[in-house]
Amino acid sequence: GFARVDHDREARNGVPEVIFGEGKRVEQISAIVARLRARHQRALVTRLDTERAEHVLRDHPDGQYDPVSRLLRWGEAPERLPGRVAVICAGTSDLPVAEEASQTLEWLGVEVARLNDVGVAGLDRLLAHREAITHADVLIVVAGMEGALPSVVTGLVRSPVLAVPTSVGYGASLQGVTALLGMLSACATGMSVVNIDNGFGAAWQAASILGL
Amino acid sequence: GFARVDHDREARNGVPEVIFGEGKRVEQISAIVARLRARHQRALVTRLDTERAEHVLRDHPDGQYDPVSRLLRWGEAPERLPGRVAVICAGTSDLPVAEEASQTLEWLGVEVARLNDVGVAGLDRLLAHREAITHADVLIVVAGMEGALPSVVTGLVRSPVLAVPTSVGYGASLQGVTALLGMLSACATGMSVVNIDNGFGAAWQAASILGL
Amino acid sequence: GFARVDHDREARNGVPEVIFGEGKRVEQISAIVARLRARHQRALVTRLDTERAEHVLRDHPDGQYDPVSRLLRWGEAPERLPGRVAVICAGTSDLPVAEEASQTLEWLGVEVARLNDVGVAGLDRLLAHREAITHADVLIVVAGMEGALPSVVTGLVRSPVLAVPTSVGYGASLQGVTALLGMLSACATGMSVVNIDNGFGAAWQAASILGL
Amino acid sequence: GFARVDHDREARNGVPEVIFGEGKRVEQISAIVARLRARHQRALVTRLDTERAEHVLRDHPDGQYDPVSRLLRWGEAPERLPGRVAVICAGTSDLPVAEEASQTLEWLGVEVARLNDVGVAGLDRLLAHREAITHADVLIVVAGMEGALPSVVTGLVRSPVLAVPTSVGYGASLQGVTALLGMLSACATGMSVVNIDNGFGAAWQAASILGL
Amino acid sequence: GFARVDHDREARNGVPEVIFGEGKRVEQISAIVARLRARHQRALVTRLDTERAEHVLRDHPDGQYDPVSRLLRWGEAPERLPGRVAVICAGTSDLPVAEEASQTLEWLGVEVARLNDVGVAGLDRLLAHREAITHADVLIVVAGMEGALPSVVTGLVRSPVLAVPTSVGYGASLQGVTALLGMLSACATGMSVVNIDNGFGAAWQAASILGL
Amino acid sequence: GFARVDHDREARNGVPEVIFGEGKRVEQISAIVARLRARHQRALVTRLDTERAEHVLRDHPDGQYDPVSRLLRWGEAPERLPGRVAVICAGTSDLPVAEEASQTLEWLGVEVARLNDVGVAGLDRLLAHREAITHADVLIVVAGMEGALPSVVTGLVRSPVLAVPTSVGYGASLQGVTALLGMLSACATGMSVVNIDNGFGAAWQAASILGL
Amino acid sequence: GFARVDHDREARNGVPEVIFGEGKRVEQISAIVARLRARHQRALVTRLDTERAEHVLRDHPDGQYDPVSRLLRWGEAPERLPGRVAVICAGTSDLPVAEEASQTLEWLGVEVARLNDVGVAGLDRLLAHREAITHADVLIVVAGMEGALPSVVTGLVRSPVLAVPTSVGYGASLQGVTALLGMLSACATGMSVVNIDNGFGAAWQAASILGL
Amino acid sequence: GFARVDHDREARNGVPEVIFGEGKRVEQISAIVARLRARHQRALVTRLDTERAEHVLRDHPDGQYDPVSRLLRWGEAPERLPGRVAVICAGTSDLPVAEEASQTLEWLGVEVARLNDVGVAGLDRLLAHREAITHADVLIVVAGMEGALPSVVTGLVRSPVLAVPTSVGYGASLQGVTALLGMLSACATGMSVVNIDNGFGAAWQAASILGL
Ligand SMILES: Nc1ncnc2c1ncn2[C@@H]1O[C@H](COP(=O)(O)O)[C@@H](O)[C@H]1O
Ligand SMILES: Nc1ncnc2c1ncn2[C@@H]1O[C@H](COP(=O)(O)O)[C@@H](O)[C@H]1O
Ligand SMILES: Nc1ncnc2c1ncn2[C@@H]1O[C@H](COP(=O)(O)O)[C@@H](O)[C@H]1O
Ligand SMILES: Nc1ncnc2c1ncn2[C@@H]1O[C@H](COP(=O)(O)O)[C@@H](O)[C@H]1O
Ligand SMILES: [Mg+2]
Ligand SMILES: [Mg+2]
Ligand SMILES: [Mg+2]
Ligand SMILES: [Mg+2]
Ligand SMILES: [Mg+2]
Ligand SMILES: [Mg+2]
Ligand SMILES: [Mg+2]
Ligand SMILES: [Mg+2]
């Protein structure tokens, strides 16, 4: 067969395998979803465009699709994880990635606090929430262009920060590579980085820190 | 003055500022160490070559310098953090970076379990420790060349994995950039990445996860 | 004329010239196919999209087109080569490239064993076939994202491994460049690499090893 | 002759040509300095290492060499320019570049206010000087690693900011390229960028803004 | 809410926040425009394509959209700034970026003198305006391909030059990266650089120099 | 006006300015063509797609458009240049670029000998024309992918070779950058290089060598 | 311990683990050599400079060190493999890499035929050996700069070609990256590629093809 | 033997093979020089450092070594070529490359006119020689940093221009890559490009144009 679903993953990693939606045909996705739901009662597809999502929903109509985060999901976490994750985002254009993180967290059973549009060009917007951010258990910080926000946030808190570069920007932003390299080069301590636009991966790592 | 020591950092981040040893002159380092020790009773300098370390030790002779990790340190953590971090390394050539991580963890008060030379070209070496690695609270996985080890380890455990690419290799390794990009591209979930050769940063993030 | 078919290639290389389908107009392809079939009774076009394939099939209706591998072919190898090639692929999204390899091998007269969706994030899926892969005469290993699968496979076998990076992934995957560089940097021995998405080239090299 | 001194430059650009010290032999520099001093009574050499500076000083002993900024200079500006430039630097390791800027400004007749070691990982150090920085006429902001400081400063002031990336850092810092690209990608408005480590160029542009 | 309008920006930076049009949905833009106009009586959206501009204009019909510069704006500067900015452009293909600069300047209340199509391959076209360009207070020089025009212009004037690389060109132009790197490497003094195609940023920096 | 036609160019460079068709609107092209034809009786537009070409031809219906080379032209060279240029191309997919070179040469009044599809994978095809190529006065060699053909040709002849990399290929070909870098790195002597896909530039340089 | 020798490798891969000499200290190498020789009676260290080789030889004086290939070895293959490998090299500057391949092959028990300095700029040197190269069982082709030789050789033979790019060259050669990318982009079929300067890896793959 | 001197090259290319001095040992160079001089009475070694040059001169003491151009040569061209080449260089730091070009031309029997230090930041220095440069038969233009000089020169003349980028500069100059890409992107017509710092290659191409 074309796919070999890794059913042991729930045992090993705490959660069933998630389907990477890019480059798969609709029938492939539907078939994998069927197998996952039969075994684990829940399923998640990432990076799925609206058109293909609608096709998959014909086979599995009780799923929820969100066009901003491009997530398609069924079921939910059997139990909620302790702790709270702050998902902070630099600009309105970074929202799709921040939502991919927030909604993946919710599907994984984690409580989320969203803080949008607090980029470093208007620092007072962030500082107004200084109290709140120092109390999150994990922080996911999403930023495109020069990607400076995670360094600034990391300097303000003790909890671990997960930095997510986005492909927002143009020219020297190099589709997110500049933000990615900047976050990796940051001298602020207590921060690690995931792939460009990978809100999903940051959410999973946050849940893993909270004891997935 | 040339340096503005960020004394509040211990309050904000849980640990005093650490000195980045590259590109600083010996007198600058000595002066900053003096200020840090006066205030916090401990200090750490990273990425310091043997020659300059010896000069700094003339002013502060009770420090410990390790030429493998290139760390120079004084004092220790006031209390030990709960939990254990596994520091896993792919090849003997990656040891300096793994040691930077392990010894920073020790300075931060964290218990370390080292597992060396278990690269993916001889998978059985790693699988022989499968039990052990699934019980670590955080895993730091250090690898150069193609940097495949963190994906494999992440697939085997539930705890968060911090991947550290190293500059070991030649040609297409591009001084660690290939390992870095590979780790960021990994589809294994529960993994985040720090800068090339940044054992220090991974250690700090691990400590931060354990509740620094 | 616009094309100078290299008819001696069958004598020199064992197989007639194959047509690179990108950047050629339909009439050009049809004309070259006509000349090749007249002389060698078989022809193969690679990287051809469905629309142009249908146009070429109007002139040469007895061909077979497969939309997954994007191969269009006529005729078959006059005799079968000894030995067996395992075509192993990391994820469902890498299937088109793996199929380009498998079907090219079949057109060249080589027996293929397919093993799909055994990426390193769920290692047990691969290890379950450990016996089988150690008996292939040549292995083609197809992987995108961080491209770690070929290193792992090469460490398990004696036969030569041909690694094929794919453009599957996003962000730091850099359209397959990351997987390519990773495979070239691998310290596993007994492995060589072809271009990104070049299942065709890997198949040919495998056949050449089996004595094309 | 090997050099064609651009004597009209003082008329056109307001200041005589400055000698780029890299890749020139000592005798070449000495000869150009002689011609410049004969005509303009002042001269400046940039990016000159200590050893070659000492050789040039044998021919022109009344010059001043500073090993931190690597500038060698004779004479001074005939008159002082109105206004004040703040030269702000992120970390102690960035000092050489900041000093190249400050001392070039002084040679050009501009008043300088230095603010060192106020990087974004400890934001309060910068905010403590918020009042001061909003009153500078031009700001030069020097930072390596992820280069986030200029965005933050630009967001706090009305005056033009000149951002100078430095080659401080390692791995993903790519010898300053990451800081450079980050500064160019910044969404803060009222900022422009010069080459990596080019404190000299930023100083000149600042002076030009003040009416050189 | 999805956006946190930085209303203090007018106080801090002299002008209200400007909306980056890429990656935002029409309703988001309309809502932000409404808030900005309510508070500041003017608003500017950059990098907006015709289709989305028409949608936004349904909610705010008194705006002006220019398809060349892709700017959508309402209102104007409360007062005009002293001085004049020359906007010089190398080729007809660079006009959209030059117009983004010129029209942003006009919206900011600055007088503009346009000089188009004076690239270095026909130097006499530029030299014919030598007198004029030496009298501008600030010069914005826009060029794609090899991006040589700013160096040449900077060598002719005393006033500060702001160089804007464009993505015009093909092959080795690398979507503007070549022009960008060339401008940063220029040895002409009195020049600083903004992002590829960032006519908006250059305009703002020019206005800031004139005392925004 | 938006364009400043460089009418002196015919005097300086021997031929009137040629219009770069990318990124210009149809009306702009038509207007420039009108001015050029009024003054010089001929005009050439490069890199023009079929759709815009048809629009321009409505205003100037006596032009000739070739969809392969994407050239649109009016008039011809007042006199023919002495000598003959061989335009050699590696594969059928490189034909558009080779035709851009050949037809530009014809418009410039130069005699062309075409030799197509003689790439290095079937060396005998080239060697069959060894005599012919040694007698050309200038050789333009067009190749994509690894771009090896110009080195081989240069090793066989005394006349100057102009190498033109093309964007044909995929993956590691990097849209022609690999062929470009390869040609620049070639150790064969008597060869120089133009931009990727720049058949036009090679043709002009060839004509310039023949005494334009 | 610092190293975990993969003793099973001889069983799995046919030959004991080989020591990567870069980045290891002399005592580490000596200790690993001791363990390998005790178990397998032979050992090989690659990429070892003369100075460290001499230190290791003090502990293991019966080894052979070759400063050209930088290989240090003890013992030999228990039996010879059938078949012959041609090691072909483009220029005298590529000899160190070609020798790393040839001498590794000899250590692995494979017969080698060397053919040096037959780069494509003087094609007749290669064609003079056309007969010979068509009879090798595997061909290793070593080339720097533009790396065109493997394409040409592959076009002439049926046996598999292993291409080794070298770091020979300057400027656009990018330390071997250009040759690497060129070889990967080659349209010749029956060729695969190893890392820059990796003569060792090519030798191993050749031996693996011959049935290691 | 290690080297296969291409003695036919004089017949094919008009001049005997030239020795690339990098990466060769002194004895290898001496041996090749001996063979070349025995057959052709002249020899040239490029890119040779002073130390190794002195060693080679012990075996062949009648040679001439120039430390600026790093050329070592014996004998001279049997006859002088018609025509004159202008070698123009942007800054004093580019002199070594310009001299490599000039002295290679002299060795090839070509008359050279040198014009140094006429970079575009002081355009009048170049324009003062406008008459002279329009009369050269071929122009070699050498420039580092942004590499703008060749475009400007090409716009002023009819004769072919050969552009040589140099590695002079720092930061964004990327060791000459920026100048190289800029020259390739130039819109001036009648120009082609050689490798970074390749004065030798430009000289040979110029001689080839003059009828080598
Ligand atoms: N958006 C995403 N980014 C990175 N990895 C993902 C994403 N979505 C799913 N995955 C991972 O991709 C793997 C599944 O790949 P596949 O077999 O191609 O569906 C699983 O390991 C997932 O955890
Ligand atoms: N090896 C290292 N890698 C990254 N950051 C570091 C390293 N060592 C120290 N730092 C950070 O660098 C900052 C100090 O920089 P500086 O003021 O230049 O000494 C502190 O925030 C440290 O946490
Ligand atoms: N550190 C520097 N960075 C950039 N340009 C410089 C620097 N120092 C001097 N220059 C410029 O370099 C040019 C002189 O170059 P040269 O003729 O090679 O000495 C003058 O235009 C200077 O303004
Ligand atoms: N020159 C080389 N290039 C690539 N891989 C090598 C080289 N030399 C040894 N290796 C491999 O590196 C691994 C040993 O790495 P280490 O444990 O660091 O000594 C083994 O798998 C070897 O096959
Ligand atoms: Mg905002
Ligand atoms: Mg090992
Ligand atoms: Mg899968
Ligand atoms: Mg500091
Ligand atoms: Mg024009
Ligand atoms: Mg062909
Ligand atoms: Mg040779
Ligand atoms: Mg100069």
| pLDDT tens-digit series, residues D147-181 | 999 999 999 999 999 999 999 999 999 999 999 99
Residue B94 contacts residue B144 (beta carbons within 8 Å): yes
- Report the percent of chain C where pLDDT is more than 90: 83
Residues of F (178-197) whose Cβ lies below 8 Å from G:
178-189
User: Which residue among A2, A32, A196 places its CB closest to the CB of C171?
Assistant: A196
Please report the number of interchain residue pairs, chain C to chain F, with beta-carbon separation below 8 angstroms: 51
| Ligand nearest to the CA of residue A18, numbered in listed order | 1
B47 CA distance to ligand 2 middle (Å): 10
DSSP assignment string, D12-60: HHSS---EE-TT--HHHHHHHHHHHHHHHS-EEEES--HHHHHHHHHHS
C-alpha to C-alpha distance for G19 and G56, rounded to whole angstroms: 13
**Residue range B158-179, pLDDT digits in tens:** 999 999 999 999 999 999 999 9
pLDDT beyond 80 at G10? no
Averaged pLDDT, H78-102: 95
| Ligand nearest to the CA of residue G117, numbered in listed order | 11
Provide, as residue numbers in chain D, all residues whose Cβ is less than 8 Å from the Cβ of H173.
195
| Ligand nearest to the CA of residue G9, numbered in listed order | 4
Residue F170 contacts residue C196 (beta carbons within 8 Å): yes
The chain D residue lying nearest A145, using CA atoms, is D185
Strands D43-46 and D19-20: parallel
* SS3 category, F54: helix
Strand blocks (E) in G100-159: 111-115, 138-143
Residue B71 contacts residue B42 (beta carbons within 8 Å): no
Q: Whose CA is nearest to atom 5 of ligand 3?
A: E187
Instruction: Please identify which residue in the block is written with the tokens 């537009």.
Output: F45
User: Which residue among E28, E196, E197 places its CB closest to the CB of A92?
Assistant: E28
G54 contact B CB<8A: no
Look at residue H16 in the predicted model and tell me its pLDDT. 81
* Eight-class DSSP state of H23: T
pLDDT beyond 70 at D143? yes
CA distances from F113 to C80, D159, F136 (A): 44, 62, 8
At residue A29 the predicted structure's pLDDT band, cuts being 50, 70 and 90, is very high
Averaged pLDDT, A138-151: 96
| Ligand nearest to the CA of residue E94, numbered in listed order | 9
pLDDT beyond 70 at F85? yes
Whether A117 and E198 lie within 8 Å, measured CB to CB:
no
CA distances from D199 to C81, D105, D177, E153, H110 (A): 67, 10, 15, 21, 43
Whether H4 and G117 lie within 8 Å, measured CB to CB:
yes
pLDDT beyond 90 at B155? yes
Instruction: Please identify which residue in the block is written with the tokens 């010996």.
Output: B26
Lowest mean pLDDT among C13-17, C171-175, D72-76, F190-194: C13-17
Q: Whose CA is nearest to atom 5 of ligand 1?
A: B187
Do chains F and H touch, with touching meaning 3 or more CB–CB pairs less than 8 Å apart? Answer: yes
The tens place of each residue's pLDDT in chain E, 212 residues long, gives 677 777 777 777 777 889 999 989 999 999 999 999 999 999 999 999 999 999 999 999 999 999 999 999 999 898 999 999 999 999 989 999 999 999 999 999 999 999 999 999 888 899 999 998 999 999 999 999 999 999 999 999 999 999 999 999 999 999 999 999 999 999 899 999 999 999 999 999 999 999 98
G27 CA distance to ligand 6 middle (Å): 15
> What are the phi and psi torsion angles at C199 (to 5°)?
-60, -35
CA distances from B26 to B42, E125, F109 (A): 18, 56, 70
- Ligand 1 pocket check for A52: Cβ under 6 Å: no
At residue C206 the predicted structure's pLDDT band, cuts being 50, 70 and 90, is very high
Smallest CA-to-CA distance from D165 within D186, D188, D145, D137 is with D145
Which amino acid, residue E131? E
Q: Return the bridge partners of E86, or none.
A: E113, E139
- CA atoms within a 13 Å half-sphere pointing along the CA-CB vector of H94: 34
User: Which residue among F93, F116, F124 places its CB closest to the CB of C8?
Assistant: F124
C-alpha to C-alpha distance for A163 and E98, rounded to whole angstroms: 35
Q: Whose CA is nearest to atom 11 of ligand 3?
A: E187
Atom of ligand 2 nearest to the CA of B200: 1
Instruction: Please identify which residue in the block is written with the tokens 């979930």.
Output: B189
The chain A residue lying nearest C174, using CA atoms, is A177
CA distances from B141 to B95, B102, B117, B134, H26 (A): 11, 11, 11, 13, 45
Question: Complex ipTM, two decimals?
Answer: 0.95
Strands D43-46 and D71-74: antiparallel
pLDDT beyond 80 at A10? no
Whether A146 and D173 lie within 8 Å, measured CB to CB:
no
State both tokens at D209: 């803004």
Averaged pLDDT, G45-59: 97
C-alpha to C-alpha distance for B145 and B89, rounded to whole angstroms: 12
* Eight-class DSSP state of B22: T
- Ligand 1 pocket check for A18: Cβ under 6 Å: yes
> What are the phi and psi torsion angles at D157 (to 5°)?
-130, 165
pTM beyond 0.90: the answer is yes
Look at residue B68 in the predicted model and tell me its pLDDT. 95
Please indicate whether residue C193 or residue F16 has the higher confidence score (pLDDT): C193
State both tokens at G101: 């391949």
Look at residue C1 in the predicted model and tell me its pLDDT. 67
State both tokens at F18: 């040629």
Q: Whose CA is nearest to atom 10 of ligand 3?
A: D20
Residues of F (104-143) whose Cβ lies below 8 Å from G:
119-123
Q: Among F110, F192, F195, which would you mutate to test the H interface (most chain H Cβ atoms within 10 Å of its Cβ)?
A: F192
**Residue range A37-75, pLDDT digits in tens:** 999 999 999 999 999 999 999 999 999 999 999 999 999
State both tokens at F27: 């009306």
CA distances from E130 to E142, G124, H98, H123 (A): 17, 58, 31, 12
B4 contact A CB<8A: no
Atom of ligand 2 nearest to the CA of B199: 1
C-alpha to C-alpha distance for D155 and D159, rounded to whole angstroms: 10
State both tokens at C101: 């390899």
Whether E24 and A124 lie within 8 Å, measured CB to CB:
no
Averaged pLDDT, F147-156: 95
At residue G15 the predicted structure's pLDDT band, cuts being 50, 70 and 90, is confident
Look at residue G123 in the predicted model and tell me its pLDDT. 87
At residue D11 the predicted structure's pLDDT band, cuts being 50, 70 and 90, is confident
At residue G7 the predicted structure's pLDDT band, cuts being 50, 70 and 90, is confident
Averaged pLDDT, C80-96: 95
Whether G121 and F147 lie within 8 Å, measured CB to CB:
no
- Mean of pLDDT over chain D: 94
Residue E9 contacts residue E35 (beta carbons within 8 Å): no
Residue environment code for A10-26, b if the CB has 16+ CB neighbours within 10 A, otherwise e: eebbbbbbbbbbebbbb
The chain E residue lying nearest D165, using CA atoms, is E184
Whether B171 and G6 lie within 8 Å, measured CB to CB:
no
- Mean of pLDDT over chain G: 94
Q: Which of A6, A8, A12, A18 to mutate to test the pocket of ligand 1 (most atoms within 8 A of CB)?
A: A18
C96 contact F CB<8A: no
Work out the minimum CA distance from F40 to partner chain C, whole angstroms.
34
* SS3 category, F201: helix
Look at residue H23 in the predicted model and tell me its pLDDT. 85
- Report the percent of chain G where pLDDT is more than 70: 100
- Mean of pLDDT over chain F: 94
Residue A171 contacts residue E176 (beta carbons within 8 Å): yes
CA distances from A107 to A9, A81, A194, H186 (A): 17, 11, 19, 54
Look at residue G33 in the predicted model and tell me its pLDDT. 96
C-alpha to C-alpha distance for A53 and A74, rounded to whole angstroms: 12
A171 contact E CB<8A: yes
Write the burial class of residue D131 (CB in 10 Å: 0-12 exposed, 13-18 middle, 19+ buried). Answer: exposed
